[in-house]
């Protein structure tokens, strides 16, 4: 499964915009977010759809993000893990 390219990320524009206000994350490259110095969230694409990989300790959890409901579930997971802030300067 390859990292999501620009065309795939274009379909997630609203989701990415929302993630960018999550405190504690820095988007080092479009669609690739770090928490402190460690990769924390990125996206993949394959023929079955788009997926977010979220770091859980030393493991990655793959979450589908193809529907509004799946995107909401991802945002809820992030909200439970990280503070929401108007800037992401952490």
- Residue 77 counted as domain residue: yes
Range of the domain at 56: 2-81
The predicted-structure confidence for 14-54, as pLDDT tens digits, reads as follows 999 999 988 889 999 999 999 999 999 999 999 999 999 99
- Residue 87 counted as domain residue: no
Distance separating alpha carbons of residues 74 and 26, to the nearest angstrom: 17
Could you tell me if 25 and 16 are in contact, meaning their C-beta atoms sit under 8 angstroms apart?
A: no
How confident is the model at residue 78, as a pLDDT? 93
- Residue 27 counted as domain residue: yes
Task: Quote the number of domains for the chain.
Answer: 1
How confident is the model at residue 23, as a pLDDT? 81
Could you tell me if 21 and 77 are in contact, meaning their C-beta atoms sit under 8 angstroms apart?
A: no
- Residue 86 counted as domain residue: no
- Residue 51 counted as domain residue: yes
Average pLDDT, the chain: 91
pTM: 0.86
Distance separating alpha carbons of residues 1 and 78, to the nearest angstrom: 22
Distance separating alpha carbons of residues 30 and 3, to the nearest angstrom: 11
């Amino acid at each position: 499964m390859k990292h999501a390219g620009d065309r795939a990320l274009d379909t997630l524009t609203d989701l990415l915009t929302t993630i960018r206000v999550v405190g504690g994350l820095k988007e080092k490259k479009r669609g690739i977010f770090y928490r402190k110095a460690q990769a924390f969230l990125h996206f993949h694409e394959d023929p079955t759809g788009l997926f977010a990989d979220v770091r859980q300790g030393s493991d990655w959890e793959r979450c589908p993000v193809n529907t509004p409901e799946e995107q909401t579930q991802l945002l809820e997971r992030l909200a439970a893990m990280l503070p929401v802030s108007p800037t992401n300067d952490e």
